Amino acid sequence: MSLHDQDDPALRAAQEERLRAVWAPPRGIFLRWTDCNNNRVGVWYVLTAFGFMLFAGVLALIMRTQLAVPDNDLVGPDTFNQLFTLHGSMMMFLFAVPMFEAVSIILLPQLLGARDLPFPRLSAFGYWSFLIGGLFVGGSIFFNAAPDGGWFMYPPLTTRTDLSGLGADIWMLGLSFIEVSSVAAAVELIVGVLKCRPPGMRLNLMPLYAWYILVVAVMILFAFPPLIAGDILFEMERLLDWPFFDARRGGDPLLWQHLFWIFGHPEVYIIFLPSIALFAMLVPTFANRHLLGYPWIVLAAVGTAFLSFGLWVHHMFTSGLPKISLAFFSAASEAVAIPTGVQIFVFIATLWAGRVTWSTPLLYATGSLAIFVIGGLTGVMVAVAPFDWQAHDSYFVVAHLHYVLIGGTLMPLFAGLYYYWPLVTGKKLSDRLGRIAFWMLFVGANLTFFPMHLSGLMGMPRRVFTYPTELGLGGLNMASTLGAWLFAAGVAVICVDLSLSPRRVRAVRNPWNAGTLEWLAHPEDEDWGIRSVPLIESRYPIWDQTDFVRKVDEGRFFLPDAQEGRRETIVTSVLDARPLAVIRLGTPSIKPMLTAVALGGVFILTTYHLYWAALVSGVATLAMALWWLWTGTAEIPEKPCKPIGHGLELPLYLSGPSAPGWWAMFITMMADATAFSGLVFGYFFFWTRHADFPPVALADGPGMAWPMLALFLGIASWLLTLGAREVHARKHVGMARLCLMVALLLSLAGVGAGLAGPWTHGMDPQAHSYPAIVWTLAIWAAAHAGVAVIMQGYALARSLAGRMSPVHDADLRNVTVYMHFYALTAIVTYATIGLFPQVT
């Protein structure tokens, strides 16, 4: 098909009709919830996260009302503990991170000129996991069962069941389930940015929003898994009495603090950088020029991400760490201000050099920068260890945290709301109401949190439900409470503005005259998204490429049709965005929902100690996942290639490192390996913290014989799987099947051998942290051997069923990626527990 073919209006109309039919949502209210179009999933995500934010805000208002005057009795101490724990947990886990993922799921396909992200069903699964987990955690307060140990849940108060009730289990298992959705979204976003860019969009031409999301999604892979590892240890102590944090039996509460804050401080930047990404999109629009310093801002984002993983100990300055540690982490905490400042100054310079059009979104953006800078300055203050010793666990830290989060997350999201609302709904929000709300929010935020600096320095500790009149803090607390109510009123004005939006007239297309691809969206809100996948030659193609919008609308670029009646988009190379293939995307399905419900049952039933029911739910989760994979992935197409326009033909099937599925498996296993490293960190943390680790009576540990046998079986299974991949590619299908069968049996034997060491040596995991951590590592490796059995059996079944061939071998290649990481897990696990340490 050439450009001239698109001059026929009848041809263009027929193409549009086929696209409309393919991408139309299912009819019926229930069926619409099974649609996996990322645009609709993203909207559900946004609405749900916004609802959780409003609920958490109400909890904050109750707390502030309680603290308005001394000796108040609006709520008691137990209820107050639940309020501040749930408020912090919901804002961090159920609003900030899910909201950025939700916004990205909506914007990225538009920004990248793609019909959709590569795994829309994975996005739907993530949403349902988030919704179920959020309702479980948030709803606990209505049954007086909410967690009450603070949003960081420090042991031993939270691990001792006699000191904390069911709320700690609800927090731990409910939020672990939510973390699954976060990792799922990270996989979708990384693969989407790397593999679904339009032809010509090299890495140095990507919109800055895509760069920021890529950086943040990679951060999730390295930040969230250590918390998952900590969650595992935490729940094993609560449910099984394995003493990881019990100092009387060789444990150490500081291990939890390390694992939590390895997650917790990057978490701040995980929610800050996507908000800054919104600035990177709207500042050039309202400055009416390209953003200055593109390479510098990319480097600054990467630098911020890198440094954020070297700061976690500044939350632990008062825990008695060595002075050299305090000096290192204090310096790193101050250094992170440099890349952050680069980003802020780039935005200021762009506005300075441009012809600024003042608007409501830009008002929110500049106001949020002012608030964030105050939070950043106090952050430099608490990065200095001697000052932190004085301000730690006081309201000064509460003020710093909220200045950073409101200025760096919430206000930028409101800026993005007013900027992108016409893109999502075709309607503009009210400038008048938006500006009224802004000033209420701006004044309210400062009135709420600036006095907290003073009350904190005057000695008011955080997490107290009341205070005596003699402290002289009543006036400051009353000011903070009035500010909180004013801030809440500003949020209410925004909610009113949103509710009035459907009554307003439809906005013109691209009302801000922006230059990036997302504004190609048509105000008629076509379900199939972009009309044709464009060729990109500039960072702002709407501004710079001649007749760009008209050519896209007339289908003069790539993939302007849906001839086979399938949802499709183009896959390109990672570095230079060369077209590689056309992939078929997931259609509406109930499978992601059912899988999320079954997996949620595992976490929720375990919370109530219903272990047999949880096991049944786990089996159901496995069955759902296999059904989903069997019917929805690695489909052998009806023809090898299809034309996409301009004389190009692309294959309809990819496997190996060029395929999105291969990247998804690799990224998922990176997250898995990071969680595993958290457990290994725990082993060597105990070894370095305790001179008698392991105790002399337990020095033999699991011995060497069983761990070395398990290691041999794991390596042999890995090598046989590699061999199966190679001989299969050479069309020796029978030999490949035999290799898979033997590898499966070796993996199965590896399950037993991995557990036999601690079992045959009678290691009691309740007696001491050494047998407990050895058992944990052994179970982790054995579980991965069990997953290897399932994966190898799945690949074998696909081959026997005729769903895999030497040409169409994505399943086998993806299983091989898993086996690489399984081999690494086996080597580290069995070498660690079998060889280290040896007591002489």
Contact 404, 376 (CB under 8 A): yes
* Other beta carbons less than 10 A from residue 85's beta carbon: 25
* Other beta carbons less than 10 A from residue 318's beta carbon: 12
Please give the pLDDT value at position 583. 94
Strand partners, 579: 572
Side chain identity, residue 523: P
* Consecutive H or E run containing 570: strand 568-572
Residue 693 placed within a domain: yes
Please give the pLDDT value at position 675. 95
Which ranges of 591-648 does DSSP label H, i.e. alpha helix? Answer: 591-607, 611-632
Q: Which residue's structure tokens are 């949190």?
A: 449
Q: Tell me the C-alpha distance between 772 and 237, whole Å.
A: 9
Q: Tell me the C-alpha distance between 105 and 126, whole Å.
A: 11
Q: Tell me the C-alpha distance between 275 and 286, whole Å.
A: 17
Residues 212-248 as b/e (b if ≥16 CB within 10 A, e otherwise) read bbbbbbbbbbbbbbbbbbbbbbbbbbbbeebbbbbee
Q: Which of 742, 818, 831 is nearest to 778 (CA)?
A: 831
Please give the pLDDT value at position 449. 97
Region for residue 427 given its phi and psi (left: phi exceeds 0; alpha: psi -120 to 50; beta: otherwise): beta
Q: Tell me the C-alpha distance between 70 and 465, whole Å.
A: 10
Residue 489 placed within a domain: no
Contact 570, 559 (CB under 8 A): yes
Strand partners, 642: 650
pLDDT > 90: percent of the chain:
80
In the chain the first and final C-alpha atoms are separated, in Å, by 77
Residue 728 placed within a domain: yes
Q: Tell me the C-alpha distance between 587 and 131, whole Å.
A: 21
Q: Tell me the C-alpha distance between 368 and 446, whole Å.
A: 11
Instruction: Determine phi and psi for 644, rounding to 5 degrees.
Output: -120, 5
Please give the pLDDT value at position 3. 47
For the record, the structure tokens of 495 come out as 């909610």
CATH number at residue 767: 1.20.120.80
Please give the pLDDT value at position 311. 86
Contact 263, 315 (CB under 8 A): no
For the record, the structure tokens of 273 come out as 């950088």
Residue 549 placed within a domain: no
Side chain identity, residue 754: G
Helix%, strand%, coil% for the chain, nearest 5: 70, 5, 25
Residue 677 placed within a domain: yes
User: Based on C-alpha coordinates, what's the Rg of the chain?
Assistant: 28
Please give the pLDDT value at position 692. 84
Side chain identity, residue 65: T
Q: Which residues contact 98 (CB under 8 A, 6 or more apart)?
A: 45, 48, 49, 52, 130, 134, 178, 181, 182
Q: Which of 711, 712, 735 is nearest to 825 (CA)?
A: 711
* Other beta carbons less than 10 A from residue 538's beta carbon: 16
- pTM, two decimal places: 0.95
Residue 747 placed within a domain: yes
pLDDT profile of the chain (840 residues), mean per 10: 62 87 78 78 92 97 97 94 95 93 92 92 94 95 92 90 87 89 93 95 95 95 93 93 94 94 91 91 95 94 92 89 88 91 93 93 94 93 93 95 94 95 91 97 97 95 94 95 97 96 89 93 71 94 93 92 92 95 92 95 94 96 95 89 92 94 96 96 92 80 92 97 96 96 97 95 92 96 97 96 94 96 97 76
For the record, the structure tokens of 655 come out as 């496997």
Residue 691 placed within a domain: yes
Please give the pLDDT value at position 840. 46
Q: Considering its fold, how many domains does the chain have in total? A: 1
Strand partners, 571: 581
Q: Tell me the C-alpha distance between 365 and 181, whole Å.
A: 29
Q: Which residue's structure tokens are 């200025």?
A: 407
3-state secondary structure of 650: strand
Side chain identity, residue 570: I
The range of the structural domain enclosing residue 729 comes to: 672-835
In 646-722, beta strands by DSSP E: 648-651
- Please state the three-class secondary structure of 758-814 as a single string: HHHCCCCCCCCHHHHHHHHHHHHHHHHHHHHHHHHHHHHHHHHCCCCCCCCCHHHHH
Contact 141, 239 (CB under 8 A): no
Contact 743, 721 (CB under 8 A): yes
Residue 717 placed within a domain: yes
* Other beta carbons less than 10 A from residue 327's beta carbon: 11
For the record, the structure tokens of 3 come out as 């450009």
3-state secondary structure of 745: helix
Q: Which residue's structure tokens are 């666990």?
A: 393
Measured torsion, CA atoms of residues 93, 97, 102, 104, in degrees rounded to the nearest 10: -170
Side chain identity, residue 99: M
